[in-house]
Amino acid sequence: LREAHAGFADVDAIAVTAGPGLVGALVVGVAAAKALALSLGKPLYGVNHLSAHVAVDQLQHGPLPEGCIALLASGGHSSILRVGDVTADVEPLGATIDDAAGEAFDKVARMLGLGFPGGPAIDAAARDGDRSAIAFPRGLTGPRDALYDYSFSGLKTAVKRWLEANPQAPVADVAASFQEAVADVLSAKALAACRDTGVDTLILGGGVAANSRLRSLTEQRCEAAGIRLRVPRPALCTDNGAMVAALGAEMVARGRPASGWLLGADSSLPVEEPLVG
């Protein structure tokens, strides 16, 4: 508010993440938002964390198209969504069946002694490596596998076993090869969803969308396929308050009803519910 030269009187509503996520953090956030909304006499909107990752793109690229595909990749989620209306019409097409992409980055970074969070650490190490040095597996890419689901547990295990067999392997090569495997399968399945649904706009979101190789590879593939790619700047990809505000503002603009004072936290809130009533 200070940077915007605004005050609470200029605020139309209060938005807060109601789920999904870690229940402790959600409960604290919802309680604080309720107190603020009550004290200010403002309507309260409990919004979906995943939908907010899609909505935040509007802050950089303007209104979302009537329909788009969203690839959300983070420490807790790896999902492909069909988005007709980010405030009311979100359909899951696929998701991870085990580890999320960001979780795999963290675990592999730990194996390589690169620290936490693993995403930026592996991204930095991979710049000096050869991404074709090691042929790590691409999970769920067989002809009989689910088209839009992800699996990174096998990749994580493959890296662990490779390091056990090759303890002197260059860290940069392992990081680059692992990163390439993740970026390859994430982008390939997202583009397949665009092609199969006839949608020509793809949005990347979530913390892993800040990864330089995922961004560049997806950009190359979208350009070749005639698909418009929208990727927020890295600071808007990781979890942030702006994305919650962006979705809340869209709820207000579209006349969606406020959540009300019985709003609670839901750690397993389905993505089909952008707004909690």
pLDDT digits (tens, 9 = 90+) for 153-180: 999 999 999 999 999 999 999 999 999 9
In the prediction, which pLDDT does 103 show?
96
What's the pLDDT tens digit per position in 145-157? 999 999 999 999 9
Q: Vertex 17, ends 275 and 96: CA angle to 5°?
A: 85
Domain membership of residue 250 (yes or no) is yes
Domain membership of residue 121 (yes or no) is yes
Distance of CA 223 to the CA centre of its chain: 21
Q: Note the pTM of the prediction, 2 decimals.
A: 0.94
| Burial class of 142 by CB neighbour count within 10 A (0 to 12, 13 to 18, 19+) | exposed
Q: Is residue 252 very low, low, confident or very high in pLDDT (cuts 50, 70, 90)?
A: very high
Distance CA 74, CA 186 (A): 11
Q: Are 202 and 220 in contact (CB under 8 A)?
A: no
Count CB neighbours of 198 within 10 A.
7
Residue pointed to by tokens 């019409």: 89
The DSSP 8-state label assigned to residue 2 in this structure reads T
Mean pLDDT score across all residues of the chain: 97
In the prediction, which pLDDT does 238 show?
93
Q: Is residue 233 very low, low, confident or very high in pLDDT (cuts 50, 70, 90)?
A: very high
Distance CA 68, CA 86 (A): 10
Q: Are 138 and 181 in contact (CB under 8 A)?
A: yes
pLDDT mean over 255-263? 96
Task: Check pLDDT > 90 for residue 231.
Answer: yes
Domain membership of residue 181 (yes or no) is yes
Do 219 and 251 fall into the same domain? no
Q: Is residue 86 very low, low, confident or very high in pLDDT (cuts 50, 70, 90)?
A: very high
What's the pLDDT tens digit per position in 188-229? 999 999 999 999 999 999 999 999 999 999 999 999 999 999
In the prediction, which pLDDT does 64 show?
95
Domain membership of residue 183 (yes or no) is yes
Q: Are 50 and 20 in contact (CB under 8 A)?
A: yes
Q: Which domain holds residue 18?
A: 8-52+240-276
Domain membership of residue 58 (yes or no) is no
Q: Are 80 and 68 in contact (CB under 8 A)?
A: no
Do 164 and 35 fall into the same domain? no
Domain membership of residue 184 (yes or no) is yes
Distance CA 254, CA 84 (A): 14
Rg (CA), the chain: 20
- The total domain count for the chain is 2
In the prediction, which pLDDT does 277 show?
84
